[in-house]
Amino acid sequence: MQFRKILITCLSVWMLVAYSIPMQNAQAETQVQTQAEEEMTTSISTISMTEARSMKVKFDFGEKVPLEDIEWTFGGKALEEWRAYDSNTKGYNGDPLITFAESPAYAGDSTVVEATLEFGLLYGTDNLAPRSIRVLYPDMIGTYDLSVMNKNTEEVLSKPITYNVYDEYLTYDQLKPELDRITEEANAKNGRFIEYKSLGQSYEGRDIHFITLAKNKKAVDKYLNQTLPEALENPASLLKKIEDGTIGDYQVPIWFNNIHPDEVEGVDAQVELFRKFSQEEEITFNVVNEQGEEEEITLNVTDALEHVIFLFNFTHNPDGRVHNTRANINGFDLNRDNAYQTQQESVVVTEEIAKWSPLSFLDMHGYVSDFLIEPCTPPHNPNFEFDLLIDNMLEQAHSMGQAGTANSDYDSYAIPYLDYENGWDDMTPAYTAIYSMLHGSLGHTIEVPGLNQQSLYAMVHAGLGATDFVLENKDELFSQQLEVFKRGVEGEDNRAVDQHLVNQQGEAIGRDRGDNENFFPDYYVLPMHDLQKNKKEAAEMVDYLIRNGVKVEQTTSKVEVDGVTYPEGTYIVPMKQAKRGFANAVLYQGDDISDWDNMYDAIVVNFPDLRGFTIEEIRTPDAFAGVGAEVKEAVYPTTEIAENKGHYVVKNVNNDAIKAVNELLKAGKEVGVATADGNGYGKGDYVIKRNDLLAIKDSYYLEVVALDRKANVEELPAAPKVAVAGSGVSRFVLQQLGFEITSVEEADVIVDDTGRFDAANVSVGKSYIGIGGRALSSVQQSGLLEGFSFERTNFYHEGLLKSVINTDSFLTSGYGAEEILYNTTGSWITGVPENAEVLAKVTDAEDYFVAGWWPGKEQVKGQVLALTTTVEESGANVTLFANDLVFRAHTEHSYRLLGNAILLDNVQEKEKGKGKEKGKKKN
């Protein structure tokens, strides 16, 4: 009987927990209850880490137990053991956390005990935003039993209490069940159209939850299959329909987004907005008008769904929500990856954004004390139609700020465009909101001030304010987006943009047109014949553009343009199209904005130079008219073996060559390297047996020629073991290239892009590859390399630099005598050790600087960017690059410099040894 009573009680506890906001990581074993839960009641069942709360408690043992014989515990710990976190001692041993605001007392002559507990702030603040706190609080989230025990009888009364960041906070595991529950309740209430799908999975296999909320499915289908296609293909037609009132009913999308999941309000505010828009008939909230007075606004949701479609991407980075990190599991900040799209989470989200081309895009972030709402400071990306976007972006920002402040404790907000001079720019499309602007969206990053309940209120109401703004101005806003598309379709370079493109002094400089009348070319051409230096990268660019909503065509016949003959099958990007701004933003060389004092982040995108494929600008109108057919996907080149030989040379001209060699070495196959030029190949190309090549050729695109001089081949040693002493990005790139990653102790080669050089490792024969200014600094400080020195302007400066390459080195195999290299730590080498081999230098020509933000850049002109040398005592090689080989996994053209330095480490050492022996004999 006692067992049954305990079982029933435990089941009742489970049901209460399941139907309250479910929490994870219970902190203590629940004490067995010996009385029904109804015998203890509390005025609240959730306490908050960001808000001090009082809780009235009542319980009844059925007799008047001496109060001193009642033991109070929370989560199995005595109340006095609960202490606030002390930042000095780094422990939970500060002030008492749980105290009695009203001491326990009997209510009159009854046996009911009443008391009021006061729960303080666990971290001494209502703002958990500081990183030092953000890494701590997840462990404290949970469900705890508040218990009282009659020490005389050991009878226990308990009540489960939720301990949360704030009331609405959800862990990732709670997110989907909560969305399902909201959907089920909404379906029962009103039958609005709600469609859930996973956009894809994170690297750890978690779903990226996405919900579409609309009036009905017909509204969604009409937008995606009629309204948007017409907007992109014939925007002038839709504009006329709006002007003359014949457009009829139509809906436009509002997209809510979160990409940094440890900026937690961005997830939870979306859940609250989804709840409101899916279930409620009317939503009433306050705004602060221009006179500083509060006024009430009521949204009729049924009416709103006649005009808008709501899109919720609850978090772009589900693994980050689980681990409470800004970055994904590979160490990438995804809000720097929306242009590059090297991470699979970014690929699927940006594809969906391009598919919808939302009218309004809100990316929910924290934490900036100003309660920041974009638009941004200059410099602005010249590929925006900024004059069409800015006025309504400002108005929408005010609508968000006025609603956010009226419904929270915050009394002000900041708009960088109006309130900052610089340093919060929208030059790079790496950020999600800025990426959306290239699709004609009113794109806003919103930064709430703190991690707490008030920020959640501010964020929810910012979303409501933006929605109200769209509803009040839908026709005007959609007309503005159509004008963006119309300029693209008609190839118009409107000079109204120029006034918004200014220098640091605020002087209008406009788009950099050079000697051209139009900033945008008529076409970009991606040749796929002999003019193309990397056919696979070119094909990947075609798929990238298509995935991002850009129209790509392929020639159906041979055509000659400006004296160049392009064969059938040449890829062309006609720039008279709605998304021409996005296409140009990733294909043009970029701008030199070095006159600016401050920039928020790196601004160079330039896929052709950074990924190493050939692209050509065509400025002849209608040059490919009638010979282009739209393609839906790229056709990739394949490995071709023309002759029947025993050995072949795989030319070291793309990253697949590195990947293929690593696969063979791991399988124990023999791989050689050419030590001299041959017929159609060069020093540093790889030599592979026919059968081994046949086994892997379909997995890679390899440029292959027959081996003609077997005598000039050096066998590579076993697969090298590589340690990463640097960033997660280095690890990701090396894994992409197929290298075996191991510990420093077991490694043959150490790769470092953060400045963790340890001379002791080199002294025992481990080669070192240092990338970027911080690595150069750590090597210089070690004093290991006599004569080595470097200089820098600032580690945050970046630039694309025309460079001269030493093509006689193994480490530069596959590169031309002139290349464009990327530097993102503002550094260069000033002192070259004796016997070191210089690999690359910045050209001393006047046009050495291609694009970027590098105040003081003139100092790098003509300077050394890379060198390699051998430490005689240990035989280890030290190879140093001032240029960045792995930056955000976007600099793929530079990967082979890294791959060569690893794979050919022993070969270059032997060659240097041979050179010394020849020198001795000559002497």
Query: What are the mean pLDDT values of the chain's consecutive 10-residue runs (923 residues total)?
Result: 35 34 36 51 98 98 96 98 97 97 96 98 97 95 97 97 98 98 97 97 98 98 98 98 96 98 98 98 94 93 98 98 97 98 98 98 97 98 98 98 97 97 97 98 98 98 98 98 98 98 97 97 96 96 98 96 95 98 98 97 98 97 96 96 91 98 97 95 96 97 94 92 96 98 97 97 97 98 97 98 97 97 98 97 98 98 98 95 98 98 81 45 33
CA distances from 358 to 27, 199, 275, 300, 443 (A): 43, 16, 21, 21, 9
Token code pair at residue 284: 């009433």
pLDDT the model gives residue 7: 33
d(CA 449, CA 321): 19
pLDDT the model gives residue 23: 35
Q: What is the CATH number of domain 721-919?
A: 3.40.50.880
pLDDT the model gives residue 908: 67
Is residue 208 within 8 Å of 201, Cβ to Cβ? yes
Is residue 629 within 8 Å of 554, Cβ to Cβ? yes
Q: Which of 272, 385, 447, 616 is catalytic?
A: 447
Which residues neighbour 391 within 8 Å (Cβ) at sequence distance 6 or greater? none
Start-end of H helices in 203-264: 217-222, 228-233, 235-244
Q: What is the CATH number of domain 2-164?
A: 2.60.40.10
- Could you state, in order of their start, the residue ranges of all structural domains in the chain? 2-164, 181-490, 523-630, 647-715, 721-919
Is residue 368 within 8 Å of 447, Cβ to Cβ? yes
Start-end of H helices in 697-819: 728-736, 759-763, 773-782
Q: How many alpha carbons fall within 13 Å on the CB side of residue 645? A: 17
| β-sheet bridge partners, residue 54 | 118
d(CA 385, CA 497): 6
Q: Cβ–Cβ contacts within 10 Å for residue 481, how many? A: 26
Using alpha carbons, select from 221, 197, 224, 193 the residue that is nearest to residue 210.
197
Determine the straight-line distance between the first and last CA of the chain, rounded to whole angstroms: 102
d(CA 176, CA 190): 21
d(CA 69, CA 377): 65
Q: How many alpha carbons fall within 13 Å on the CB side of residue 424? A: 21
Supply the pTM of this predicted model. Answer: 0.93
SS3 724: strand
Helices H / strands E in the chain, number of each = 25, 44
pLDDT the model gives residue 16: 33
Q: Cβ–Cβ contacts within 10 Å for residue 782, how many? A: 14
Is residue 253 within 8 Å of 477, Cβ to Cβ? no
Is residue 664 within 8 Å of 715, Cβ to Cβ? no
pLDDT the model gives residue 911: 61
Using alpha carbons, select from 851, 918, 907 the residue that is nearest to residue 382.
851
pLDDT the model gives residue 291: 84
pLDDT the model gives residue 643: 82
pLDDT the model gives residue 709: 86
pLDDT the model gives residue 909: 60
pLDDT the model gives residue 918: 33
d(CA 343, CA 361): 21
168 assigned to active site: no
Could you give the dihedral angle defined by the CA atoms of residues 523, 529, 534 and 536, in that order, rounded to the nearest 10 degrees? 90
Q: Give domain 181-490's CATH superfamily.
A: Zn peptidases (3.40.630.10)
